[in-house]
A and B are shown apart, each in its own frame.
Chain A
Amino acid sequence: MSSLLALSSPMLSHYLLTGAVLFVLGLIGFVSRRNLIVMFLCTEMMFQGVVVTLVAFSAFHGNFTGQTFVIFVLTIAAAEAALALGLVVLLFRRKQTLDASAWSSMRG
């Protein structure tokens, strides 16, 4: 009963649930897809899950450290996105495909 009641007004657990869903969706996408760009986007999604959790906790505790941290994470994620997409382009040029399994020459 209380869980239903909880749905009516946003609470900490809602934010945490949203963050967890985003993270797990990203994770499933990363593991199941082979397209390098999609995989990369999935990792971005996992990032967002974590970010949401951080902001939620920050608001809940009235402590701005978490939000400050999020600003840094977003900045770095942007830089990293530029770098990663550049790498993806490079990999694509090498093998004319975006399939991640094309790069399994380090198999034991």
Chain B
Amino acid sequence: MGNLAVILIPWLPALAALLIAVIALKDKLQKLAAPICAGAVGASFVIAMIVWMNLGGPETVDFYNWIAFGDFRLGMSYFLDPLTMVMLGVVCGVGCLIAIYATGYMKGDPGYWRFFTYVALFIFSMTTLVMADNLVLLFLGWEGVGACSYLLIGYYYDKPFAVSAAKKAFIVNRVGDFGFLLGIFLCYQRYDTVQLSVMLEAARHNVEMLAAGAYNPTAADLWIPFLLMVGAFGKSAQIPLYVWLPDAMAGPTPVSALVHAATMVTAGVYLIARCIPLFELSPAALPTVAVVGGCTALFAATIALCCNDLKGVFAYSTVSQLGYMFVGVGALSTDGAVFHLFTHAFFKALLFLTAGSVMHALAGQLDIRTMSGLRHKMPVTCWLMFVGCLSLAGFPFITAGFWSKDLILGDALAYGLDHNQLYLFVTLLGVITAFLTAFYTFRLWFTVFMGEEKFEMGDEHHHEEETHAEGDEEHDHDDHHAHEPHEMPWLPMNAPLVVLAIGAIIFGVLGYKLHWFENIIGYSTANPVTVPVLDLAHHGDAHGDKVHHTYIMGMDPHNFMIILSSILAVAGIALAAFFFWINRPLTASLAKTFTPIVKLLENKYYIDELYDWMFVQPLKRAGGLFYVVDAMIINGLVAFVAWIPAMIGRGVRPAQSGRLQGYGLGMVMGVAIFALLIFMAVNR
């Protein structure tokens, strides 16, 4: 029974996807797609929570024998530990809320059922990914979410931009997946198994030996983390493979919230956290992760400063926040990373969905320069987004984003002071990013919702009428017939957002003060060996309580970081309020002064152009060259071979005179020649 429940967690959404695809054959039943999808995901969430409550220790559940040849066995098996369960909670919980929101958001869309099939399929892949007991099954989920991401980005397949964005996401992820796949091969070669529990136990033992100086890492030990890292960077949009994520916003907004903010993009963080002992074996691996994460965080934050696209700002902030998570795992603060992953899922989903509401109300308008003072038109959305922005900006003490971000930065600072000076630099990057984050987040919020009321409608008029009818009680009758922005209905759209907003507030202080994530990580494979989050071998205490770090300015690094980032967050928000609410003309004139910088940031450092020049154009040129080789040499050879019999035919065709006598003569002469030959042969 218990095992069946575990198996149902991923397979319920899979069955839902199948069911939706079947019922979609009947037009009348298509509107059932959303309840089936949301219901299945919600059921998975409930089952996952019940399983978690009854989970004693790490557990493996076998479903069936998936691959078997020779001595090699791979099970469709699931590995359950607290890390798995918290990931399941995020994926299914946030997934269910987003599916409910999408019920309203996607209403009237011609591909309504197609959307929910993809979403259910995505949840299946993502749960498979986090529950996988071996790397191959994990890779199956990994590719599954990649494929669903591709399908969902390219959901509006009649828009060329969406199609090319989908292709871009898929191709950039191939680069990362190539590294990941090589990493899996190398793991198998090194550990003779791809089963996570066995492999990580062996790696854990090796790390302990390494710390004691009794182990010499092999070449495979040094390379595995770097290969896995490439996969993680691809999936989680880190430098240099981040370029696909901002473009992925071409998909419907609930997809941006679910796939490209809350769940799929955190798979890379999950992978590194899960396999942290493998990374500890290679001395250069985790510093690399941390530096890449820190650089990505700052880099993406600077782009977000000048981004004028409503969803684009949040896309770059996602890249930036994922950078924080990588700093977290890189600084052996897997609890911080997973904590931030958890809170980020809430506030970023909230931000994307409120952005979706704004976009919905303005008929697809995304340019924030055309928006201003929308707080009267959409009061609920305005304040929900305010909560999300506070959390993203890390407003001190009351928001979740503040606590999780500070756990990461505090741990990174402590690690830098105690062990490795490089992490001080990474911490500095993180601190600057924290300030920029507060600034750009509230730049967006003040621009859109404060100041005088001003807006331009977009060019999409899809299902405008339906939502008008439902939103009747929300807005006054004067603008009923005009195309004016209006508040979203409570059900099914604003209610899930309220749940997310509550999560974006309370989970921070709860998680931090109750040491949720230290306990989750401490009892999972993500517990680092060299600097354990929870030292089970010694006293079982959360490290925040007992371990004393090197002090900085007479303070514990965690407390120091809390004070520093509180100041920076408030300063960032205040500065944004000044520039984008109180004194907008000054901002415009300042922007003119710094035109080159603004231009550089607005064009995202020309990275897309650089990649185009470095990779796309050379590949196109190589393609052109190969085309010529193909057309001239390969096709020429084939044509030449075909030309030979044609020529022979042309040569001997006159023999077919069509005259009976000719044939008779030919026959006679042939017989005569044979007779002569036989005669000569006999008489020799």
Where the two chains meet, the residues of A that have a C-beta atom closer than 8 Å to any C-beta of B are: 27, 30-32, 34, 39, 100-101, 103-108
Contact = CB atoms under 8 A, between A and B. Distances in A.
Contacts of A39: 660-661
A29 to B, nearest CB: 11
B661 A104 contact: no
Interface stretch (B162-170, B587-595, B651-659): B651-659
Contacts of B653: 108
B4 interface: no
Contact of B664 (A30, A101, A104): A30
Nearest to B654: A108
A97 to B, nearest CB: 14
Interface residues of B, number: 12
Contact of B660 (A27, A103, A105): A103
Contacts of B657: 104, 107-108
B665 interface: yes
Contact of B656 (A27, A30, A32, A107): A107
Majority secondary structure of chain B interface residues (helix, strand, loop or mixed): helix
Contacts of A100: 659-661
12 contacts: A27-B668, A30-B661, A31-B661, A100-B659, A103-B658, A104-B657, A104-B659, A105-B658, A107-B657, A107-B659, A108-B654, A108-B657
Contacts of B660: 39, 100, 103
A106 B656 contact: yes
> Closest 3 CB pairs between A and B?
A108-B656, A107-B658, A104-B658
A39 B661 CA distance: 9
A31 B664 contact: yes
Nearest to A106: B658
A105 B659 CA distance: 9
Contacts of A105: 658
Given A31-B665, A34-B661, A108-B657, 18 more contacts: A27-B664, A27-B668, A30-B661, A30-B664, A31-B661, A32-B661, A39-B660, A39-B661, A100-B661, A104-B657, A104-B658, A104-B659, A105-B658, A106-B656, A107-B656, A107-B658, A108-B653, A108-B654
A34 B661 CA distance: 8
B668 A31 contact: yes
A40 to B, nearest CB: 11
B573 to A, nearest CB: 91
Interface string B647-684: 00000011111111100110010000000000000000
A108 B656 CA distance: 5
A32 to B, nearest CB: 8
A67 to B, nearest CB: 25
Contact of A108 (B658, B664, B665): B658
Contacts of A106: 656, 658
A73 to B, nearest CB: 19
Among B654, B655, B661, B668, the most chain A Cβ lie within 10 Å of the Cβ of B661
A34 B662 CA distance: 11
B382 to A, nearest CB: 87
Contacts of A103: 658, 660
A39 B657 CA distance: 18
Nearest to B668: A27
B667 to A, nearest CB: 10
Nearest to B657: A107
Contacts of B654: 108
B166 to A, nearest CB: 57
Contacts of B655: 108
Nearest to B653: A108
A107 B660 CA distance: 11
Nearest to B660: A100
Nearest to A101: B659
A107 B663 CA distance: 11
Contacts of B668: 27, 31
A101 B661 CA distance: 9
Nearest to A28: B668
Contacts of B661: 30-32, 34, 39, 100
A100 B661 CA distance: 8
Interface string B428-465: 00000000000000000000000000000000000000
B669 to A, nearest CB: 10
Contacts of A104: 657-659
A31 B663 CA distance: 9
Nearest to A34: B661
A101 B659 CA distance: 6
For A39, A105, A106, A108, which residue has the most chain B Cβ atoms within 10 angstroms? Answer: A108
Nearest to A24: B668
A103 B657 CA distance: 11
A56 to B, nearest CB: 19
Contacts of A108: 653-658
Nearest to A32: B661
B666 to A, nearest CB: 10
B389 to A, nearest CB: 85
A92 to B, nearest CB: 15
B44 to A, nearest CB: 74
Interface string B625-658: 0000000000000000000000000000111111
Contacts of A34: 661
A105 B653 CA distance: 14
Nearest to A33: B661
A106 B664 CA distance: 15
Contacts of A31: 661, 664-665, 668
A32 B661 CA distance: 7
A103 B655 CA distance: 16
A104 to B, nearest CB: 3
